Structure 1
Amino acid sequence: MGKTIELWKRNPVECIKELIGNPAFKDDIKYAPEQHFTSPDCNNHIFNEMWTGEWWWDIQKELPHNATITPVILASDKTQLSTFSGDKQAWPVYLSIGNIRKSVRCAPSARATVLVGYLPVTKLECFSDSRRALEGYRLFHTCMHSLLEPLIAAGKQGVRMVCTNGQVRRIYLIVAAYITDHPEQCLMACCKENHCPKCTVKPDQCGELLNSLLRDPQETCETIARESHGQKPEKFEAQGMRLIDPFWQELPHCNIFACIAPDLLHQLHKGVFKDHTVKWATECFAGGAAEIDRHFKAMTHHPNLRHFKKSISTISQWTGTEYKNMEKVFLGVLTGGACSPAVLRAVRAVLDFIYYAHFETHTTDSIIQLEATLDAFHENKHVFADEGVRDDFNIPKVHSEVHYGTSIRSLGTADGFNMEGSERLHIDYAKQGYRASNKKAYVKQMTVWLTCQETIHQFRSYLAWAEPMSTSVDVPDDEDDEDLDDDNEEEIEETSNTYSVAKEPGLGQVSIKTLTETFGCTNFLCNLEDFLCKSTHNKKLPKVAEHMYEQTRFAVYKRMKVDLPAARQVSCINGRQDTVRAMPAIPATIHRKVVPSHFDTVLAYEFLPDVVGSDKVDPLEGQSIFCIPETYGRFASKHPLAYVEWFTPLQTICPDTGMFKISPSTRRHRHRTAIIPITQIARSCHLIPHWGHVMDRTWASADILDKCSSFYVNPYLHHDDFLLLQYLQSQSKS
């Protein structure tokens, strides 16, 4: 029996020529390695882009003087094309280069990652069952060797290319990173799936914190060659090798085992967290999955948090977004005493590792913290064995965490090699082309369709570069133009540094009575009088405010947005904003269901941010955001105000969870309330109730903030929160 298969490929050298000469990347490309440090003493190294890693420096020393390196980044992953029936699949191979900034490289719209081929997807029925798997592995390596063959000469001799700045350089193309999931990592490493594709650790020692040697490419090729000649070397079985002719053995300066990049999606989110940690912690939890579901249903709301109102046990198809939303609250779900402290410490270590691994900029110190969280997990993992949940921890995905620190130091941060990017590219380079075909000989039709789409995109890009379109704004007359500028200046001044609100309040006229009854502003009138006296530095109220009563009305905003400070560990994007809501419930109508109320909790400065020593933030709950007329006080009219209920300061830290524990602040046995300018609000925060050994069955997410007496401040809501409440806290202690 025989079978004819097709490999669709493009010349990777020509694709790289187009990428490195594309003028659209002129401001986002580097041609030489760099070293960045946090201080002049050069002790704390900064790692973010690929050119800040150690790999580029090491390879640069092996090449001729003034040689320019282009690190080639490959990615491959099978994807399902047919949706409800059929088994149509495609196996795209993508290519990008490490010279391009990762924020551009990982953006599908930038087209800095290109499709270089479709590997054949076949069941190989022409082989017997015993040989079929091995022949499939050999087919993969044969196709990849054919696909990447042009890189052999380009890596040894270099290729002259025109770069984005117009200079002609001799560029050496060297495979530096390969992005794929664990089965394909083992496939290209020529090893069995119960082994680590990067190092020589034994399968029965994967659960231990061992520093094993990386696999050596030359030694691996020699061992496979000896096995093929019948010499039976011990390392062949000990390292779980397969009898395959590796596609990478001729690629110059390529250590394929060091090229294997961290896979945040499959290794951490899906593997370590969802498939293992959640399962183990649930079995150790008093009340089991049913009690955990109750905690998820009663969890407090936040605009950036998915509320699992139907619990988590009913979800059959999980996505990466759902994994991440579950991670944000899972440690808080376990608090309250229903599981042992060691379980909390182990789960906390897993979550901390995931959040550290997501840093967009690492330093030597943060990598040390990353590796410390791994140590903490291995110190506490014994609790799962003690509870009878797990006998051993010899899981390759759990072991893969050992290599994260080394990979970050070598290739840059892990967010530049996330499999989520490849999953997203499947839509543009596989699924849309398949849908445009007639589903017969679809790979050929997909390539034709993609060629047309690329041609159109290239022509549009050329037109945009050659003749940039100019936009004009019609201005009625000079007087209106001056008025418009004045209004813009006032608007910018009002919302410039810390916040932004709608141009017009969402609720135009709201009485004090409504604020008290509907919004929960119980001491609104007293707090407003205190604020006006303090803001005007006068013991007496302004005359217009001396006769306020229940029907006095104010304009109320439904939400505001707080400008978050720049943080290199979290994002390289400026202008990020955080939403804070203060919305009462909207009753149901014939055509609409009831809309529940949303009063978000925030962290606010104790005093105005421009006051010396006001960097301390405390948690509070915002009940309303309103503005008052200028006649009530000049200072009061400058910014909208917020009616808030204070919580106790951030002082007590739970040693097992690392979270701040707070409770409502009281004065004379009543909630301590105040009215503050919204400029004192630093960011939103998320409070997790202290559940106790058994959750009160009357608690629900709509009113749990009022019924519960103590809370934890969630450090996992945003990566900004983790940076502020975990990483910076640990740095200040050290």
Structure 2
Amino acid sequence: MAPFHKFHLQLFHVSLSRILSILKPYMTRPDHVCFGDHHYCWVVYRLGPYIANYEEQALLACIVRNWCARCLATRGNLDGDALNRSREHADTLIAEFDLLDLWDEYRIVGDIIPFTNNFPRADIYSLLSLDILHQIIKGAFKDHLVEWVEKYLILKHGKKQAEKILDDIDRRIAAVTPFPGLRRFPKGCHFKQWTGDNSKALMKVYLLAIEGHVPQAVVCTFHAFLEFCYLVCKSVITESDLDLINDTLDHFHHYREVFKTTSVVFTFSLPRQHSLKHYHDLIKLFGAPNGLCSSITESKHIKAVKKPYQYAYHQPAL
């Protein structure tokens, strides 16, 4: 890794540590705080869940990309059972191995110190939260399943015939009857720029649009995946819901094999596919994912950055 790149990464962690340093004294001794009801309480602070997409999670966990930031699953078998990462385990590896071995064997960037090391009871690996927007909506759905369907059609029918089928899929999407809660796509799903809202709206109609053009196993794959999405997006998730989430994920993993048997993909060891395995445990740890989604910060980014840019320069922000 280039020295400037290391400096850039460490600067990110040092900056976070500096920003949060005001809370550090009160992580070991109570702070007397006046609450909204005008009553005073003793408060001990600690770091909570960190909302980030995969690229930022890899940066925070100081690991090489395409590995899991939460568990020790290997790059070639992300779906295999593996123990969770921990600060103690990482510190032990860094103390015992040189930087090259850490990179080659464990895919850890050993000379970058996570910002959480400066705070008590803080473990960056356990603080990384779920992210419905980038893991499910933009990741597993848009970047994986939708693209895999297009690749399947090209492999099965050839490029020319596949384009005709994709045009028919677009026609079906455009023909969706107006209904509250459903968004219309007059030009189908070929957007100039995919947004989270586009993907969420398309998820509601895409299954019906591809039915008849793809094998039943592909339809079942989308059905299981969408069922998983609806379950994890609930505002209140019960123990029975968690069992359903596990069952639905098993069905999704079973049916998605059709993409491997048809040579559309050769591996499912992809970080955003793998992230679905952690939802059961992370929901128990942090609660319903609806409250921990990067769409919250994305919406603030639009209001705080993109809109002012558009008004100032009279050009649409990317």
TM range (shorter): 0.7 to 0.9
SS in 1 for 2:181: coil
Q: Which residue of 2 aligns with 1:311?
A: 188
Of the candidates 174, 179, 190, which is equivalent to residue 302 of structure 1? Answer: 179
Asked if the contact 1:226–1:233 (Cα under 8 Å) also holds between the matched residues in 2, the reply is: no
Residues 436, 293 of structure 1: alpha-carbon distance in 2 compared, 3 angstrom cutoff: closer
Asked if the contact 2:94–2:102 (Cα under 8 Å) also holds between the matched residues in 1, the reply is: no
Of the candidates 13, 16, 21, which is equivalent to residue 149 of structure 1? Answer: 21
Residues 427, 282 of structure 1: alpha-carbon distance in 2 compared, 3 angstrom cutoff: closer
Q: Which residue of 2 aligns with 1:190?
A: 62
Cα deviation for residue 235 of structure 1 reads 5.3
Asked if the contact 1:221–1:249 (Cα under 8 Å) also holds between the matched residues in 2, the reply is: no
Q: Which residue of 2 aligns with 1:257?
A: 125
Q: Which residue of 1 aligns with 2:267?
A: 392
Q: Structure 2 matches for 1:68-83, cutoff 5 A? A: none
Structure with more strand by fraction: 1
Q: How many residues align?
A: 303
Of the candidates 134, 139, 142, which is equivalent to residue 274 of structure 1? Answer: 142
Asked if the contact 2:114–2:124 (Cα under 8 Å) also holds between the matched residues in 1, the reply is: no
Of the candidates 426, 434, 437, which is equivalent to residue 301 of structure 2? Answer: 426
Q: Which residue of 1 aligns with 2:316?
A: none
Residues 428, 292 of structure 1: alpha-carbon distance in 2 compared, 3 angstrom cutoff: closer
Residues 168, 139 of structure 1: alpha-carbon distance in 2 compared, 3 angstrom cutoff: same
Cα deviation for residue 232 of structure 1 reads 5.2
In 1, the alpha carbon distance for the partners of 2:186 and 2:12 equals: 44
Q: Which residue of 1 aligns with 2:283?
A: 408
Look up the equivalent residue of 2:251 and give its one-letter code: A
Cα deviation for residue 433 of structure 1 reads 6.5
In 2, the alpha carbon distance for the partners of 1:420 and 1:434 equals: 20
Of the candidates 237, 249, 252, which is equivalent to residue 104 of structure 2? Answer: 237
Q: Which residue of 2 aligns with 1:293?
A: 170
Asked if the contact 2:23–2:45 (Cα under 8 Å) also holds between the matched residues in 1, the reply is: yes
Cα deviation for residue 328 of structure 1 reads 0.2
Give the % identical residues.
Answer: 28
1:326-364, Cα deviation, whole Å (9 max, x unpaired): 10011111223x321111111111111111110100001
Asked if the contact 2:51–2:128 (Cα under 8 Å) also holds between the matched residues in 1, the reply is: yes
Of the candidates 216, 220, 224, which is equivalent to residue 345 of structure 1? Answer: 220
Cα RMSD after superposing both structures:
2.3
Of the candidates 198, 201, 217, which is equivalent to residue 87 of structure 2? Answer: 217
In 2, the alpha carbon distance for the partners of 1:255 and 1:277 equals: 33
Residues 329, 435 of structure 1: alpha-carbon distance in 2 compared, 3 angstrom cutoff: closer
Q: Which residue of 2 aligns with 1:331?
A: 207
Asked if the contact 2:14–2:115 (Cα under 8 Å) also holds between the matched residues in 1, the reply is: yes
SS in 1 for 2:69: coil
Asked if the contact 1:305–1:325 (Cα under 8 Å) also holds between the matched residues in 2, the reply is: yes
Of the candidates 45, 63, 70, which is equivalent to residue 173 of structure 1? Answer: 45
Cα deviation for residue 434 of structure 1 reads 6.4
Cα deviation for residue 178 of structure 1 reads 0.3
Asked if the contact 1:185–1:197 (Cα under 8 Å) also holds between the matched residues in 2, the reply is: yes
In 1, the alpha carbon distance for the partners of 2:182 and 2:68 equals: 35
In 1, the alpha carbon distance for the partners of 2:230 and 2:41 equals: 39
In 2, the alpha carbon distance for the partners of 1:323 and 1:427 equals: 17
Residues 190, 256 of structure 1: alpha-carbon distance in 2 compared, 3 angstrom cutoff: same
SS in 2 for 1:160: strand
Look up the equivalent residue of 1:344 and give its one-letter code: V
- Larger deviation, residues 357-366 vs 378-387: 378-387
In 2, the alpha carbon distance for the partners of 1:283 and 1:223 equals: 41
TM-score, structure 2 length as denominator?
0.88
In 2, the alpha carbon distance for the partners of 1:196 and 1:319 equals: 25
Q: Structure 2 matches for 1:550-589, cutoff 5 A? A: none
In 2, the alpha carbon distance for the partners of 1:301 and 1:431 equals: 30
Q: Which residue of 2 aligns with 1:200?
A: 72
SS in 1 for 2:13: helix
In 1, the alpha carbon distance for the partners of 2:308 and 2:106 equals: 41
In 1, the alpha carbon distance for the partners of 2:178 and 2:36 equals: 48
Look up the equivalent residue of 1:418 and give its one-letter code: C
Asked if the contact 1:200–1:212 (Cα under 8 Å) also holds between the matched residues in 2, the reply is: yes
In 1, the alpha carbon distance for the partners of 2:121 and 2:75 equals: 29
Residues 332, 239 of structure 1: alpha-carbon distance in 2 compared, 3 angstrom cutoff: same
Matched, 1:372 2:242: no
Q: Structure 2 matches for 1:126-165, cutoff 5 A? A: 130-165=2-37
Residues 324, 431 of structure 1: alpha-carbon distance in 2 compared, 3 angstrom cutoff: closer
Residues 325, 434 of structure 1: alpha-carbon distance in 2 compared, 3 angstrom cutoff: closer
Structure with more helix by fraction: 2
Cα deviation for residue 412 of structure 1 reads 0.7
- Larger deviation, residues 421-430 vs 271-280: 421-430
TM-score, structure 1 length as denominator?
0.39
Look up the equivalent residue of 1:333 and give its one-letter code: A
**In terms of Rg, which structure is larger?**
1
Q: Structure 2 matches for 1:640-679, cutoff 5 A? A: none
Cα deviation for residue 269 of structure 1 reads 0.5
Cα deviation for residue 183 of structure 1 reads 0.8
Residues 225, 433 of structure 1: alpha-carbon distance in 2 compared, 3 angstrom cutoff: farther
Look up the equivalent residue of 2:141 and give its one-letter code: F
Residues 295, 224 of structure 1: alpha-carbon distance in 2 compared, 3 angstrom cutoff: same
Asked if the contact 1:223–1:233 (Cα under 8 Å) also holds between the matched residues in 2, the reply is: no
Larger relative contact order (CA 8 Å, sep ≥ 6): 2
Q: Which residue of 2 aligns with 1:70?
A: none
Asked if the contact 1:296–1:312 (Cα under 8 Å) also holds between the matched residues in 2, the reply is: yes
Look up the equivalent residue of 2:151 and give its one-letter code: E
SS in 2 for 1:161: strand
Q: Which residue of 2 aligns with 1:125?
A: none
Look up the equivalent residue of 2:68 and give its one-letter code: C
Residues 308, 434 of structure 1: alpha-carbon distance in 2 compared, 3 angstrom cutoff: closer
Q: Structure 1: where are the runs of 5+ without partners? A: 1-128, 439-734
In 1, the alpha carbon distance for the partners of 2:304 and 2:184 equals: 33
Asked if the contact 2:117–2:123 (Cα under 8 Å) also holds between the matched residues in 1, the reply is: no
Residues 326, 436 of structure 1: alpha-carbon distance in 2 compared, 3 angstrom cutoff: closer
1:186-213, Cα deviation, whole Å (9 max, x unpaired): 111111121111111111112x3x3321
